[in-house]
């Protein structure tokens, strides 16, 4: 029986920022889909439920845990968006050079954090 080639195992691959940003893209997308959808549906239901329901929603969302959820969702959104733009550039055939790919892999989550800070700074300064 002939020996078939084996797929490379994880121990063979050298961990890099492009792998981390790819995993982060999936995690933030799942978080937005699950948590974001839950918050959106709760918000819509609270608006439809009347003043008491909406007061409960705003009380929870303005509590420390609510702020963590909202900041986390905005961070997930901006990080996912930056990673999505990186993937879009890769899909059109650009950015595959090693240095360029590594630079954008590192910049995508950093820009997500900076955009989250800027977003909440605009909200707080108004």
Q: Report helix, strand or coil for 95.
A: coil
Would you say 9 is a known binding-site residue?
A: no
Contacts of 22 (CB under 8 A, 6+ apart): 83
Task: State the Cα–Cα distance between residues 91 and 85, nearest whole angstrom.
Answer: 10
SS3 content of the chain, % helix, strand, coil (to 5): 80, 0, 20
64-91 and 17-31 helices cross at what angle (nearest 10)? 130
First and final C-alpha spacing in the chain:
72
Binding residues: 80
Binding residues for heme: 80
């Amino acid at each position: 029986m002939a020996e078939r080639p084996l797929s490379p195992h994880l121990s063979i691959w050298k961990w890099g920022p492009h792998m981390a940003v790819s995993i982060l893209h999936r995690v933030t997308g799942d978080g937005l889909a699950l948590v974001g959808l839950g918050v959106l549906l709760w918000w819509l239901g609270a608006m439809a439920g009347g003043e008491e329901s909406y007061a409960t929603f705003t009380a929870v969302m303005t509590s420390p845990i609510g702020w963590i959820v909202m900041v986390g969702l905005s961070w997930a959104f901006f990080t996912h968006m930056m990673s999505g733009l990186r993937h879009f550039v890769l899909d059109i055939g650009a950015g595959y050079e090693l240095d360029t790919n590594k630079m954008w892999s590192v910049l995508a989550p950093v820009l997500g954090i900076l955009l989250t800070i800027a977003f909440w700074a605009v909200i707080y300064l108004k």
